Copies of this chain bind each other. A is one copy, B any other.
Amino acid sequence: MEFKKILEKQSEESWKTYIPTLSIDCVIFSFHETTLQVLTVKMKDQDLWGLPGGYVQKEENVDDAAIRILKDRTGTENIYLQQFYTFGNLNRSESAFEKYDDNLWYKQRFVSIGYYALAEHSKVNLIVDEYSSACEWKSIEDLPPFMMDHRTIFDKALLTLREQLNNHPIGYNLLPEKFTMPELQKLYEAILSKKLNRGNFYRKILRYDILTKLDESRKGGAHKAPDLYRFDLDKYDVALKEGLKGNW
């Protein structure tokens, strides 16, 4: 079946299944080979890349819809998922379906609720469904042009993630269970897109009191074997809920 027909058929179903006006877009981050990456998809009918998304069922909480969409698009559950902003400008999305009939579901005005997720890179399945021609991780330092206002949505997600560094611990979903201080610093540098001073980084991170130093070190390599750490999950959870030590 040609793609236009698939979309028109799905449009009819969507009018029955979902509440109008609202969509959800997901900015799914992972950390891989010292770069922060984001999951991007390409619709069969489009030249530009976009963020994975979906709609809210008539008898479904919005947060549950986000969890369902994330699962459908990545095969994963129980990953850190956080609503961050709702995008409601006129004509933010309608133009992508110009060549279709005005009653096509996808061509309506949608206000989109953005969620960002922090996912373990290896656990995400790159699912190419019947509407997509591709699904790929992209480094945030080298993003392709995005469709609709998806670049704005991505930028706001990254800004929110950066601000979260000042309020809450980050890393549990992005790093392996055991990691070195230089690895943790590289994660912060990847999120912030800037180099950090090593001494300042150590002092500030240790002041948060969320790490446990292990009696092991990372073997191999020419340098002195660096110490391994893991997150103290009890303290990490407290800091997730109540904020980092030293905060207001």
Q: Indicate how many identical chains form the complex.
A: 2
Select which of B87, B111, B165, B167 is within 8 A of A22 by beta carbon.
Answer: B111
Which residues of B lie under 8 Å from residue A88 when comparing CB positions?
Answer: 22, 56, 61-63, 65, 113
Complex Cα gap A145–B62 (Å): 25
Give, as a whole number of angstroms, the nearest-CB distance from A151 to chain B.
Answer: 18
A131 interface residue (CB < 8 Å to B): no
Across the interface, do A61 and B89 meet the contact criterion of CB distance under 8 Å?
yes
* Chain A interface extent, by class: 20 to 34
A192: B residues at CB distance < 8 A: 248
Q: Beyond the given A58-B109, A111-B113, please list 18 additional residue pairs across the A-B interface where CB-CB is below 8 A.
A: A19-B111, A21-B21, A22-B88, A22-B111, A56-B111, A59-B90, A61-B90, A62-B86, A62-B87, A63-B88, A88-B113, A162-B248, A163-B243, A165-B248, A166-B166, A166-B167, A166-B248, A167-B167
Q: List 10 A-B contacts (CB under 8 A).
A: A22-B22, A22-B111, A56-B111, A58-B109, A62-B87, A62-B111, A88-B113, A165-B247, A166-B167, A166-B243
